[in-house]
Amino acid sequence: MIEMKVEGMTCGHCEQAVRKALAAVPGVTHVLEVDRIKQSATLEGNPDLADLIAAVKDEGFQASAT
């Protein structure tokens, strides 16, 4: 399981955008949770961390590993 900090989400649309971006990264098998209150995302798989961060950044948010 991979946990990430995702900063900048303010609404459900933000959560959906991040969820969709993360799901599209090669190696991600399942996005378990994207939570704007916790400013976090949890997913399963074996993706490259740099690809995850880039996907979130492309949506206009900041991400880092926790």
The predicted-structure confidence for 4-32, as pLDDT tens digits, reads as follows 999 999 999 999 999 999 999 999 999 99
Q: Which two tokens stand for residue 6?
A: 């995702």
Q: Which of 59, 2, 57, 56 is nearest to 29 (CA)?
A: 2
- Residue 66 confidence class, pLDDT cut points 50, 70, 90: confident
Residue-range domain boundaries for the chain: 2-61
- pLDDT at residue 16, as a whole number: 97
Fold adopted by 2-61:
Alpha-Beta Plaits (3.30.70)
The predicted-structure confidence for 30-60, as pLDDT tens digits, reads as follows 999 999 999 999 999 999 999 999 999 999 9
Secondary structure, 3-state, 4-39 = EEEECCCCHHHHHHHHHHHHCCCCEEEEEEEECCCC
